[in-house]
Amino acid sequence: MREAIRLSREGMETGHGGPFGAVIVKDGQIIGRGFNRVLSSNDPTAHAEVTAIREACSNLKHFQLDDCILYTSCEPCPMCMGAIYWARPKAVYFANTRKDAADIGFDDDFIYNELELPFEIRKLPLLPLLRNEALPVFEAWKNNDRKTPY
């Protein structure tokens, strides 16, 4: 956790993005590091947890973090939680809370609140389109003998 906190300061002080850092550990060794790079990369998905997941998976040469632990300097946002669940580590530890983040201007409550609403009343329109053309691709995946389930 101290390395995640150190990375949060490094990323902030070097102007890469907000004060967030993360590390991923497997068998007692750090296999992925990340700090927020939203500003330096112009990428709104370049949060500390996501960058650490990308590095760890690259180092493991696998798309899942089996038997890994993620340490993050702050409770993950909804986007990062989605990425974390897809990566499937065995545990996540965090230092600062989402309230602590909100107190310094990083308030994700609007996202949490939006996700609970039906599509038709969300602030960001989420509208179905051409499902009948997309379903055959899903059917082809379902019947693909060479697919890698995940």
Q: Are 39 and 11 in contact (CB under 8 A)?
A: no
Sign of CA dihedral 147, 91, 52, 96: positive
Q: Are 2 and 95 in contact (CB under 8 A)?
A: no
Bridge-based pairing of strands 29-35 and 91-96 is unpaired
Q: Give the separation between CA 120 and CA 39, rounded to whole angstroms.
A: 32
Per DSSP, the three-state class of 107 is coil
The residues annotated with a catalytic role in the active site are 49
